[in-house]
Structure 1
Amino acid sequence: MKTPIRFLRQLISFLLIVGFATQVNGQILKKLGKVAERAAERTVERRVDSETSKKTDEVLDSILEPGKKEEQQVPQIPPMDGGNDPGTTGNPQGTNSPVGNGGSSGVKPIEVYSKFDYVPGDKLLFFDDFSNDFIGDFPSKWNTNAGGELVTIGDSPQKWFELKSGYNIYFIPDVPKLPEEYTIEFNIMALGLTKRTSSTAHLRVDLSDDQKFKEGGNFAQAHIPFCQYSPIGITIENRINNKREIYSTVKADIRNEIVDGPHVSIAVNKERFRLWVNEVKYIDVPRLVPSGSILSTLKFHANNFKDGEERVFITNLKVAEGGLDLRQKLISEGKVSTNGILFDSGSANIQPQSMGIILQISQVLQQESGMNLNIIGHTDADGDDASNIQLSKERADAVKKALVEVYNIDPNRLRTDGRGESEPVGDNGTLDGKAQNRRVEFVKQ
């Protein structure tokens, strides 16, 4: 009976304290309240940490272990067109295979591009692979009314510009005023796409008469879809003097290309607008662009992506004046020079997107049966003279090999030469100048 009596005495003492010490009791309750509040905060923090860790793990899994979750569709790092330099440099990873080889698993052999008829402009207006900018910064050669930053993905040394998604958000590269005839090329990448990605998620390419952050009274647009559950198609739209003339969606199932990270090419020849995704031409509209070269500004706009889950990136933006038919120039003048034939960095492996130019050269040789050509390779001033001479010769040989093996041109009609860095046409101290110097010439013998 001692234990219940002791307990009873303690209970009576406690009740007396509660009854006669109101002020003390109030202070105790306040302290208990603060303790409870801190406990609640810690619980919330633990929940937040848990959710953050979960999301972080999902992102890391998507990058380091793509395909781990059946629903998630995350691309591998794609072959980069242009690499650290435009022109005839190319992919620093060397993922594309040489002419005549089948290539590694998942990489299309160059023969797939044998009918690719895109020809890039020959006068460089703008190029940016962000090599001169720091990771985490907004790129120095762009403008926006929102925000964005440069990132790396996985182990790739390539820098990517992450575009924020949102209504009326624009990203504007510092491209000089667009001429009447020009070409645009870039690589895009998406992470976090699933079967639930919206049918309205898209990257829009704008050509506009407004230099800032509006659509403008005159524009031409292409909407590149990122939806994965259905083939949405590519939408094109224009406005001429504030009046819509064209709004249509062209049938295009590019879901696999989007997941793999495609190369996009656009050619504007006065009013004509053409668009390719990798080697396939999907858009060819003769009068989409308002006449008179009034669309002076290039803009990018990403919209309807889930914030924090679906991410869109761009790199290797190249804008060049021209994109004209090289065939007539070669026939009439007996010589053409182009920096549109691209190679993997430091190698002679031709980037398959370059085949449009080589196709045109082959067509001239097939038509002009008596014509023989000297193919001359040129490099920029990076590296030593001897190495550049050797590299330029190997690149000329690679172009000859493509003409012979892909287009069945008689090898006896083709000579090759390498001039290295000895005949610059641009300033090797600038990125644009280096791009101009990396070129291939075709000279009638």
Structure 2
Amino acid sequence: MLNKPLRAKLVLIVLAVIVFAPAAYSQTKKIKRPKSRVGISSVDTFVQESFDLYDKVYKYDGYAEAGTPLDDEDIDVLEEALTEMTALSDSAPDIIADLDGVGVLKQGKATLQINKAKKALKYSITTAKELLLGERERKDEQEDDSEDSSEDNNTSPNDNDDNTNDTNTENETPKNISDNLEVLSKYDYIPGDKLLFFDDFSQDFVGDLPSKWNTNGSGAIVKFNTVEGNWFELKAGYRLYVIPDINELPEDYTIEFDILTSGLNNQTSSSARLFVVLSDNNMFNDGKEHYAAASLPLGQYGAFDINAFNYFNRAGGAINSGLTADIRDEIKNQPHIAISVTKKRYRLWVNEIKYIDIPRFIEELNVLNFLKFHVYGLKDGEERIFIKNLKVAEGGVDLRRKLLSEGKISTNGILFDSGSATIKAQSYGIIRQISQVLQQDAAIKLKIVGHTDADGGDDVNLKLSQSRAEAVKQALIDVYKIDANRLTSEGKGESQPIADNSTADGKAQNRRVEFIKQ
């Protein structure tokens, strides 16, 4: 709560702005509250509370536009609302996680409403701060209407804003899970095809350090009531590393993992970062003679760069750069990180956006054989970061050429939400390659075959594999405009394993999609 002298000063600021610049404010077009409920308790509560707070802030913004001064009580209400809005915004990742396993239509409707509520929250937080500080910027009606109907540049394709303006979301029914994925049609990340390491921590006990990792500090497996699966908490500290049991990386490979954060806010340090290090040793340092690393910013009060730096047989690195990036929203909404190393070239994506692409980042080949994670700058017990689904795979095979030459390919790089046929965004690089083969030769027809691991019943897995194969088929049709008559789909369930279903690695290999020329 602001003290009385500061509160009085803020009131004077707001009054001064209103008195001397009565036309300085123009409200954005009002975002319509959804009229129907989704039927998922956490989603419906999130949407309702978001719009309740939005209505408060929108009202005070209207006061400013009309020239009505804010009194002490108004400022108290805005202060309290700002605290509530910040906390509610922090809960968004947990709400999104509740959609796992929900039917496609309900998931589509829920996503639309969540995104609309997030947009309302974003407006509310920004506007409340500007009203309290007398910094509300002028926007003409044309700019407002444009803003209301377009995506925010910091929003990933999985978090699209509602683009319907005056159309009620409850009257919209997504045709397919691949709707509105235009950005993904250009996503060029291709995961490696030969699995080298995979850990989803499903084989580890909560509270333990994962069995296939080492550290010089601490860390433990945790489980949440609102987010699926086990997660590995990375502890922050000086020269504190966690190292997976990988001791040989090829010249071409990919690294993928998911991030979950908790407690990050505007007080999080600007130095808070997650480092991903490629090293020449498995000791608790960046490296002895060679290393290459990238660091992702975790701070929230400003947009901080993604850093890339390397060190090869010299007193300093040839590269030490900061790449402009505002990934604050992504960091708080369970992002997927993908890294591709192709000989000397290094690329890094956050969700579907490529932020790093350095042609000669790996200056010397065959010396960086170890992967390390390091977190720095978080407040112990308050700000937390977790990872899951670390996957390292050897790359180098062009799926397009293999499909044309051999007539068949199998990939475990097309991923789905657990227990559902919802295609994960990071899978579209592979689907894009398949579409290029079909576009190149109009005579080619493909059968798409889905396979699952052995978790769950036979009948359930058979149906799931069929649904997943059909989802890939629909993505080719809807996103890449392939003629439906050229595609068929089939599910095999768990009936044709290629690896041991009792291990996480084996299950990951068995969850695959085949493309067969007809």
Aligned residues of 2:445 and 2:487 also touching (Cα < 8 A): yes
Choose from 460, 470, 473 the match for 1:387.
460
Aligned residues of 2:259 and 2:334 also touching (Cα < 8 A): yes
Change (3 A) 1:245 1:80: farther
Choose from 90, 96, 104 the match for 1:74.
90
Mark the runs of 5 or more structure 1 residues left unpaired by the alignment: 1-64, 82-90
Q: 2:446: which partner in 1?
A: 373
Change (3 A) 1:80 1:211: farther
The SS at the match of 1:284 is strand
Choose from 198, 214, 223 the match for 1:143.
214
Greater shift, 426-435 or 334-343, is seen at 426-435
Mapped to 1, the partners of 2:474 and 2:293 lie a distance apart of 38
The answer to whether residue 388 in structure 2 is matched with residue 333 in structure 1 is no
Q: 1:208: which partner in 2?
A: 279
The answer to whether residue 134 in structure 2 is matched with residue 127 in structure 1 is no
Q: 1:40: which partner in 2?
A: none
Choose from 215, 240, 246 the match for 2:319.
246
What residue identity is the alignment partner of 2:256? E
The answer to whether residue 263 in structure 2 is matched with residue 197 in structure 1 is no
Aligned residues of 1:124 and 1:319 also touching (Cα < 8 A): yes
What residue identity is the alignment partner of 2:313? N
**Any idea what the Cα deviations from partners look like across 1:74-105, whole Å, max 9, x if unmatched?**
24336999xxxxxxxxx992369579956622
What residue identity is the alignment partner of 1:346? G
What residue identity is the alignment partner of 1:126? F
Change (3 A) 1:78 1:287: farther
Mapped to 2, the partners of 1:269 and 1:80 lie a distance apart of 34
The alpha carbon displacement at 1:136 in A equals 1.6
Mapped to 1, the partners of 2:451 and 2:226 lie a distance apart of 30
The SS at the match of 2:269 is coil
Q: 1:290: which partner in 2?
A: 363
Change (3 A) 1:326 1:291: farther
Mapped to 1, the partners of 2:463 and 2:103 lie a distance apart of 20
What residue identity is the alignment partner of 1:302? V
Q: 2:159: which partner in 1?
A: 108
Q: 2:493: which partner in 1?
A: 420
Work out which structure has the larger RCO, using CA pairs closer than 8 Å and 6 or more positions apart in sequence.
1
Q: 1:185: which partner in 2?
A: 256
Larger radius of gyration: 1
Aligned residues of 2:199 and 2:505 also touching (Cα < 8 A): no
Aligned residues of 1:74 and 1:190 also touching (Cα < 8 A): no
Aligned residues of 1:97 and 1:103 also touching (Cα < 8 A): no
Q: 1:405: which partner in 2?
A: 478
Change (3 A) 1:102 1:180: farther
The answer to whether residue 315 in structure 2 is matched with residue 264 in structure 1 is no
Aligned residues of 1:208 and 1:296 also touching (Cα < 8 A): yes
**Any idea what the Cα deviations from partners look like across 1:111-132, whole Å, max 9, x if unmatched?**
1422211111121111112112
TM-score by length of 1: 0.78
TM-score by length of 2: 0.67
Greater shift, 373-382 or 97-106, is seen at 97-106
Identity of aligned residues (%): 55
Q: 1:44: which partner in 2?
A: none
Q: 2:101: which partner in 1?
A: 94
The alpha carbon displacement at 1:431 in A equals 1.8
Change (3 A) 1:78 1:247: farther
Q: 1:364: which partner in 2?
A: 437
Mapped to 1, the partners of 2:331 and 2:228 lie a distance apart of 21
What residue identity is the alignment partner of 1:114? S
Structure with bigger strand share is 1
Q: How does 1:309-348 map to 2 (within 5 A)?
A: 309-322=382-395, 324-348=397-421
The answer to whether residue 193 in structure 2 is matched with residue 118 in structure 1 is no
What's the Cα RMSD here?
2.6
**Any idea what the Cα deviations from partners look like across 1:371-402, whole Å, max 9, x if unmatched?**
11111111222333333332222211111011
Q: 1:306: which partner in 2?
A: 379
Choose from 253, 276, 300 the match for 1:228.
300
Change (3 A) 1:223 1:341: same
What residue identity is the alignment partner of 1:120? P
Aligned residues of 1:188 and 1:262 also touching (Cα < 8 A): yes
Mapped to 1, the partners of 2:437 and 2:393 lie a distance apart of 23
Mapped to 2, the partners of 1:391 and 1:306 lie a distance apart of 42
The alpha carbon displacement at 1:158 in A equals 2.2
Change (3 A) 1:255 1:80: same
Change (3 A) 1:129 1:76: farther
